[in-house]
């Protein structure tokens, strides 16, 4: 009798182990459905899925995701929040010089802010030439000796007398320039006009700053006061215009560097007013969340998050639409089909699954930031986040434009698998799933990529995170990122990889 009892227990244990050891069957994932999703999400009619477009394509994408998610029996939640946007106000942006007898000269170009800003940047005061804005305790050189900067606007060149003399002042040392500016502002200056180098082989600094600072900027919440330094950059040609004829600006710098002696002076009868205006608006946007409740009485209070951002960059001034088929309609579509795959299971996983389609990634990871501050499941009960950002492409020779990047688009059998170290088993499960699917995982991306996409807000809260991507292509953030180059067979494999890893995470 005892023998039969032991035999029964041994047989039960064997059957249980064997059942657990059986590889899970992957439900059908349809390439046709993937194509259907991207055909809508990456169509011109959505105008690039950006906030503020005339047809509200971002909202149309959200409604589509809600509808498709409901068809997979997800509990759909819309997490709505305000997005504060700031656009350049060109009409009220100027640099004005007031001279003798009330004469005013207004400039509209050849100057720019040093960094993007939300608020209007403005300052005014008497204009004072301060050479290189340089003070050196070792040599005793001091551009500010005997000069009261209180309430004045200092104009000076990047670099130092020494770097100018040696021909290296075109190398912009950001740390050095910040320290120079801080000392001048601490001395009471109302603002700074920082003039770019005379010696740069091609002085396109202002153009680059304009492209960077004149675009729309976004934040979640207005701060009491933006940490905005009263500094603008200007070209040497602009400085020469301010200082009169015969290249006086250039001659002044050459004289200083040759003699090694400061030549600071207050410009006669010249007041300067700088104003870089911004228009601030509030737009309502939303994250879409689809919940599949877990089957275990206790573990269903925990969740696995699958995430993809559904916004893109809109349109350019020429009216060209940036459809974002790969970035990131591919991730959105893959999540929709992944939800459909989980819906096919006869028994749902033990833990709940949250399918998270976030907005405002292109604006600065703001949708995922909002979710991390207002999670549906507490982050301490989020066992992992799997983020999909650009998962629809395969390497073509034209993509070699990214051959200096660590994230150039992968071949068909390869995928970037960026994983943090908060749960070592996450990498093990990823390796196992890739092996089964014939995929080669690439864990080589530098740590900075943990800060670049939406997984960052989970990573910084110590949630185990896996980011999947096929990499950068020649069409990244270009109007040519269209459905015609999407590889739906690759997307299907990514969806299958997500399913296999997700099953492990939801059931361990």
Cis peptide bond upstream of 238, omega within 30: no
Give residue 10's pLDDT band: very low, low, confident or very high (50, 70, 90).
very low
Give residue 94's pLDDT band: very low, low, confident or very high (50, 70, 90).
very high
- The answer on pLDDT for 421 being more than 70 is yes
pLDDT in tens, 66-77: 999 999 999 999
Please report, for the chain, the start and end positions of each structural domain, with discontinuous segments joined by +. Answer: 26-86+280-507, 90-276
Q: Which two tokens stand for residue 106?
A: 């207004």
Q: What's domain 26-86+280-507's architecture?
A: 3-Layer(aba) Sandwich (3.40)
Whole-prediction pTM value?
0.82
- The answer on pLDDT for 4 being more than 60 is no
Q: Average pLDDT over the chain, rounded to whole? A: 90
Average pLDDT of 77-103? Answer: 89
Q: What's domain 90-276's architecture?
A: 3-Layer(bba) Sandwich (3.50)
- The answer on pLDDT for 213 being more than 80 is no
d(CA 171, CA 198): 11
Note the helical H segments in 125-235: 161-165, 174-186, 205-213
d(CA 251, CA 249): 6
d(CA 67, CA 79): 15
pLDDT of the residue at 200: 64
d(CA 73, CA 91): 51
pLDDT of the residue at 202: 53
pLDDT in tens, 109-144: 888 888 877 888 999 999 999 999 999 888 889 999
Q: Which two tokens stand for residue 406?
A: 């660590």
Q: Is the CB of residue 190 less than 8 Å from the CB of residue 151?
A: yes
pLDDT of the residue at 169: 57
Q: Is the CB of residue 169 less than 8 Å from the CB of residue 198?
A: yes
């Amino acid at each position: 009798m005892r023998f039969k009892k032991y035999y029964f227990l041994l047989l039960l244990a064997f059957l249980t182990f064997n059942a657990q050891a059986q590889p899970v069957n992957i439900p059908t994932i349809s390439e046709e459905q993937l194509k259907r999703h991207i055909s809508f999400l990456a169509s011109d009619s959505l105008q690039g899925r950006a906030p503020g477009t005339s047809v509200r394509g971002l909202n149309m994408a959200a409604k589509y995701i809600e509808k498709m998610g409901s068809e997979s029996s997800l509990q759909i939640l819309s997490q709505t929040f305000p997005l504060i946007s700031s656009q350049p106000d060109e009409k009220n942006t100027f640099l004005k010089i007031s001279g003798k007898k009330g004469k005013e000269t207004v400039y509209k170009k050849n100057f720019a802010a040093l960094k993007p800003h939300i608020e209007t940047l403005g300052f005014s005061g008497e204009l004072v030439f301060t050479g290189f804005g340089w003070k050196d305790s070792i040599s005793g050189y001091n551009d500010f000796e005997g000069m009261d900067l209180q309430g004045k606007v200092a104009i000076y060149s990047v670099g130092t007398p020494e770097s100018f003399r040696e021909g290296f002042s075109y190398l912009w040392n950001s740390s050095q320039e910040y320290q120079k500016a801080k000392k001048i502002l601490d001395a009471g200056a109302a603002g700074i006009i920082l003039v770019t180098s005379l010696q740069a082989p091609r002085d396109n600094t202002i153009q680059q700053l304009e492209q960077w600072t004149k675009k729309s900027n976004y934040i979640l919440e207005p701060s009491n006061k933006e940490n905005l330094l009263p500094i603008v950059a200007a070209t040497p040609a602009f400085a020469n215009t301010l200082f009169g004829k015969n290249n006086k600006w250039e001659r002044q710098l050459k004289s200083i560097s040759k003699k090694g002696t400061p030549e600071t002076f207050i410009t006669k009868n010249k007041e300067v007013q700088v104003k870089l205006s911004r228009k601030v608006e509030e737009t309502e946007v939303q994250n879409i969340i689809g919940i599949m409740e877990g089957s275990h009485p206790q573990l269903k209070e925990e969740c696995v998050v699958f995430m993809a951002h559904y916004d893109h960059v809109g349109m350019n001034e020429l009216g060209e639409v940036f459809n974002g088929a790969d970035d990131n309609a591919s991730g959105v579509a893959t999540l929709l089909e992944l939800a459909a795959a989980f819906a096919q299971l006869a028994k749902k996983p033990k833990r709940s699954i949250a399918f998270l389609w976030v907005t405002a990634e292109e604006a600065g990871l703001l949708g995922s930031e909002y979710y991390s501050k207002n999670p549906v499941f507490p982050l301490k009960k989020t066992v992992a986040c799997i983020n999909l950002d650009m998962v629809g492409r395969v390497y073509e020779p034209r993509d070699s434009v990214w051959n200096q990047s660590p994230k150039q688009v992968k071949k068909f059998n390869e995928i970037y698998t960026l994983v943090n170290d908060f749960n070592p088993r996450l990498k093990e499960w990823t390796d196992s799933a890739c092996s089964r699917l014939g995929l080669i995982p690439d864990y080589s991306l530098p740590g900075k990529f943990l800060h670049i996409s939406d997984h960052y807000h989970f990573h910084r809260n110590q949630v185990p995170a896996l980011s999947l991507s096929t990499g950068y292509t020649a069409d990244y953030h270009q109007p040519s990122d269209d459905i015609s180059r999407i590889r739906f067979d690759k997307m299907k494999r990514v969806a299958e990889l997500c399913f296999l890893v997700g099953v492990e995470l939801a059931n361990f």
